[in-house]
Chain A
Amino acid sequence: MSETAEYAETASPGEGDAAPAASGSRKGSPTSSWRSRLYRWDIKASPYVFVAPFFLFFGAFGLFPLLYTGWASLHRLELTNLDDSTWLGLENYTNLLQSDYFWNALGNTFTIGIISTVPQLAVALGIAHLLNYKLRGSTLWRVAMLAPYATSVASASLVFTLLFAWDGGMVNWVIGSVGIDPVNWRESSWGSQFAVSSIVIWRWTGYNALIYLAAMQAVPHDLYESASLDGASRWQQFRHVTIPMLRPTILFTVVVSTIGATQLFGEPLLFGGTAGSKGGADHQFQTLGLYLYDQGWINGHLGRASAVAWLMLVILLLIAAVNLLIARRLRKAQ
């Protein structure tokens, strides 16, 4: 106790008037000493109380589920009987690492991630560049950009499912008019991945474009002015002024999009229709998120699903580490 009291006294000068009050109370009446103790307690405890809600919620909805999932991943735990679990050790993990479906899902997550994230960010950058010019009705354009993001995954996926229907879908009708044979988008391996990616691209491009736009508007205008005085074309300005200034923002969107791509779930699930969690007849667009859902909620193997969740976490941490390395490299290069 004495240590903390000392700590409070040494700390209190920073608080200005707190020190005289605290030292004065020691010689004063019992009530005033009680009041000062209350006061000291107040000083020490209040900040914790103020930040407590966040930590309570984080503990309840973040940390506890994480740890519980870890515990579950080491047990045989069935959705039909949560009170009964058998210790398995790492068996769930070794089973997963031997499962074709797991590796297939990992591969799909990777390929869908690439073909959705790369074009998405490239196009977003282009759109942001266009929106950065003086435009008539620029607010309208910006709102229009955000509209797909505001659409729910469900409705977007439903519309795309109809567009990509192999029989009577608009996409096949369009490619048919230039003489290409209809593609069974959902059941072909690349076709389905392309279709799922297109939903992702459609929903998120505008969102990223607005982030880029915000960053672009923070680029000092005289840089462009001096660049144009030096005779740089618009494209040269974009390459040599805009892109370097946007580097941190681009890195941020890359990280966020990568995390999003790793957790991709709603779009392929709804694109798959009935039994959507299988990701197609040959699991051709089953992502890790879908595989987790299929294991846990369709097949009822919660232990196994938890192991998938933890492996996903590990993968995300690896990606974050790689990103960090790249970011550091870039900073050094500058």
Chain B
Amino acid sequence: MSTSSRRPHRLVAFAAVSALATSLLAGCSSDDDSGSEGGDGKVTLNVGTFGVLGLKQAGLYAEYEKSHPNIKIKENVIERNDAYYPKLLTQLQSGAGVNDVAAIEVSNITEVVQTQGAKFEDLSKAEGVDKATYLDWKWKQATTEDGKTVGLGVDIGPTALCYRKDLFKKAGLPTDREELAKEWAGDWDKYVALGEKYMKKAPGETKFVDSASSVYNAVFAGAKERYYDKGGKEIYEDSKGRKDAWDAAMKVAKGDMSSKLKQFDPTWDQGFANAKFATVACPAWMAGYIQEKTGPEGKGQWDMAKAPTDGNWGGTFLGVPSAGKHKKEATELAVWLTQPEQLAKVFAKQASFPSTPSAYDTLKPSPATKAYFNDAPITQIFADIAKNTPAAVYGLKDAQIGQSITDIGVLQVEQQGKSPAEGWEAAQKEIKDVLGQ
């Protein structure tokens, strides 16, 4: 009976193949589980962030793990928001692989609120959340029309100007932060005029600013009118805020006052290290960046003054996607992380500015940060700006429109030598493409 002697082999082979196939298939799905449930019965919470949010750096995760022995926190960082955000959207849409807690950048918040609201937990009703502790406008930005809050405010971006005292001195400009703030107060043209003065006696091959886009963003941060009106209609063509910012950026680009470095590029980082430019727009979250990239040589050389107008550039929210496996634990974590005490710790470490005004009186930057910025009263500067920041209306595609203007329009003028009119035309064309018109 040769048949019976052959069959077992086949059956064994069959079993082996099917076992292999199932284990392969299982291998695809087991990814999700391994992350969230350790062998020791601990719950692992994944926190998705972009850039340096500062929560980890301030030791908050470690502190939370200590007080909650059953929780393990894993931060999944993606360097840039333009790579992080599409991934967040895909995860929300598919419901697979979502982080338990997800950071949301302010320029995306309107789109998230309006299109992804249903996919987030309502944090306004979560235990321990008190609406009154958060800045009113920050709270509203993350709340849907029917009152559902999809994200709690982490940091905001009150925008000052950071400048290199040593370079200012060599160029024969005033170096006192009060004096400077007064000199350019209220008008970015005065800032540009100072730049012209700087360029006449610029030490070495330095320039007045890092990039024209930096100026665009700084001016735009204080705009009352942005790219959308309250009804959600695009007004970027005639928006006063946009025009002012564009004009200032054009003056800087055409006046050859910029190092022509693209922000967040490796060469920009080198520009910090090599002291190639004298000023940079300085939202609170930038302070940590400057320290890190300029390194020890910059200590005491950088200083900080109030910008011509008060504005907000950037900021983050923490949301809890409903598709997460541990919504309860994740909500508790998100609430805890955004409490004033915690955000004060992040400020001390990273100078990211809290969206909880009740913390402002207690804020103390770390001695190192303070010394780095020549003992500037960082807390007071940022708190003043935060108080005066106009309530800005954000729209669906704020991030992409902003990127089209800075990375296409401004860059064409600054680096390709095109005229401002050509640059603006290119930016408009790009925006139309972005909006799918």
List residues of chain A with CB under 8 Å of any chain B CB.
17-18, 21, 39, 42, 46, 49-50, 52-53, 56, 79-82, 99-101, 158, 161-162, 165-169, 184, 186-188, 273-275, 277-278, 281-282, 297-301, 304
Kindly list chain A residues whose C-beta atoms are within 8 Å of the C-beta of B264.
Answer: 273-274
A187 and B89 contact, Cβ closer than 8 Å, known pairs A53-B20, A168-B267: no
Task: Kindly specify which of B178-186, B311-319, B405-413 makes contact with the partner chain.
Answer: B405-413
List 5 A–B pairs whose Cβ atoms lie within 8 Å, in order of A's numbering: A53-B17, A188-B416, A278-B408, A298-B400, A304-B436
Question: What's the A-B contact tally at a CB cutoff of 8 Å?
Answer: 113
B266 touches A281 (CB 8 A): no
User: Is A187 touching B416 in the complex (CB atoms < 8 A)?
Assistant: yes
Q: How far is the CB of B222 from chain A (nearest CB, A)?
A: 22
Asked if A274 meets B261 with Cβ closer than 8 Å, knowing A46-B14, A281-B408, the reply is no
The answer to whether B89 and A80 touch across the interface, beta carbons within 8 angstroms, is yes
CA of A235 to CA of B409 in the docked complex: distance in angstroms? 53
Chain A, Cβ-Cβ closest to B265: A273
CA distance in complex: A275, B260 (Å): 16
Known: A56-B21, A79-B89. A162 touches B407 (CB 8 A): no
B406: chain A residues at CB < 8 Å are 275
Chain B's nearest CB lies how many Å from the CB of A14? 15
**B24 adjacent to A275 (CB under 8 Å):** no
- Interchain CA distance A39-B8 in the complex, whole Å: 11
The residues in B between 235 and 264 inclusive whose CB is less than 8 angstroms from any CB of A are 259-264
CB distance from B104 to the nearest CB of A (A): 13
The CA-CA distance from A52 to B22 in the complex, in Å, is: 12
Question: Cβ of B415 and Cβ of A281 under 8 Å apart?
Answer: yes
Contacts of A300 in B (CB 8 A): 86, 89
CA–CA, A53 and B82, complex, Å: 37
Q: Which of B3, B263, B416 meets A282, CB within 8 Å?
A: B416
Contact A274 B80 (CB under 8 A): yes
Interface size class of B (residues with CB under 8 A): 35 or more
Asked whether A187 and B21 contact (CB < 8 A) given A42-B10, A49-B14, A299-B433, the answer is no
Given contacts A187-B411, A297-B86, A298-B400, contact A274 B262 (CB under 8 A): yes
Decide: A167 near B259, CB < 8 A? Known: A49-B18, A79-B93, A184-B415.
yes
User: B436 and A298: CB pair below 8 A?
Assistant: no
Q: Which residues of B contact A301 (CB under 8 A)?
A: 436
B-side interface mostly:
helix
Partner among A42, A53, A79, A167 whose Cβ is within 8 Å of the Cβ of B261:
A167
With the chains together, A56 CA to B274 CA distance in Å? 56
Cβ–Cβ < 8 Å partners of B86 in chain A: 79, 297-298, 300
Residues of A within 8 A of B426 (CB): 281-282
In the bound complex, residues from chain B placing their C-beta under 8 Å from that of A158 are: 266
| Partner among A39, A277, A278, A304 whose Cβ is within 8 Å of the Cβ of B7 | A39
Q: Which residues of A contact B17 (CB under 8 A)?
A: 49-50, 52-53
Asked if B34 is an interface residue, CB under 8 A from chain A, the answer is no
The closest CB in chain B to the CB of A189 belongs to B416
In the complex, which residues of chain B have a beta carbon less than 8 angstroms from the beta carbon of A274?
A: 80, 82, 262-265, 407
Cβ-closest 4 pairs across A and B: A281-B411, A275-B407, A297-B86, A80-B115
Beyond contacts A168-B270, A278-B403: 5 other A-B pairs, Cβ-Cβ < 8 A, are A42-B10, A46-B10, A169-B267, A273-B266, A299-B433
Complex alpha-carbon distance, A328 and B408, angstroms: 46
Q: Chain A residues near B2 (CB, 8 Å)?
A: 17
* Contact surface of B with A, Cβ cutoff 8 Å: 2-3, 7, 10, 13-14, 17-18, 20-21, 24, 80, 82, 86, 89-90, 93-94, 111, 115-116, 259-267, 270, 274, 276, 397, 400, 403, 406-408, 411-412, 415-416, 426, 429-430, 433-436
CA distance A42 to B94 in the complex (A): 39
Q: Which residues of A contact B429 (CB under 8 A)?
A: 100
> In the bound complex, do residue A281 and residue B10 qualify as a contact, i.e. CB atoms below 8 Å apart?
no
Q: How many whole Å from B365's CB to the nearest CB in chain A?
A: 28
Q: Which residues of B contact A188 (CB under 8 A)?
A: 416
Contact status A80-B116, CB under 8 Å: yes
Closest-by-CB residue of B relative to A273 is B265
Residues in chain A near residue B430, CB distance under 8 A: 278
Max chain B Cβ within 10 angstroms of own Cβ: one of A100, A277, A281: A281
Q: From the candidates A53, A161, A281, A297, name the one contacting B21 in the complex (CB within 8 A).
A: A53
Contact, CB under 8 Å: B416 / A281: yes
Distance (Å) between the CB of B84 and the closest chain A CB? 11
* A residues near B18, Cβ cutoff 8 Å: 49
Cα–Cα, bound, A306→B115 (Å):
21
Contacts of A80 in B (CB 8 A): 89, 93, 111, 115-116
Specify the chain A residue showing the minimal Cβ separation from B1. A21
List the B residue with the shortest CB-CB distance to A22. B3
Minimum distance in angstroms from B143 CB to a CB of chain A: 18
CB distance from A266 to the nearest CB of B (A): 13
Which residues in A have their C-beta under 8 angstroms from that of B263?
A: 274
Q: Which of B266, B274, B416, B435 contacts A162 (CB 8 A)?
A: B266
Q: Once bound together, how far apart are the Cα atoms of A186 and B414, in whole Å? A: 13
> B28: nearest residue on chain A (CB-CB)?
A60
Candidate in B20, B21, B397 with the most chain A CB atoms within 10 angstroms: B21
- The CA-CA distance from A282 to B414 in the complex, in Å, is 12
Q: How far is the CB of A326 from the nearest CB of chain B, in Å?
A: 37
CB distance from A294 to the nearest CB of B (A): 9
Q: Which of B13, B24, B80, B260 contacts A53 (CB 8 A)?
A: B24
Report the minimum CB–CB distance from A228 to chain B (whole Å): 52
Which residue of A has the minimal Cβ distance to B430?
A: A278
Query: Are A168 and B274 in contact (CB-based, < 8 A)?
Result: yes
- A43 closest partner in B (C-beta): B10
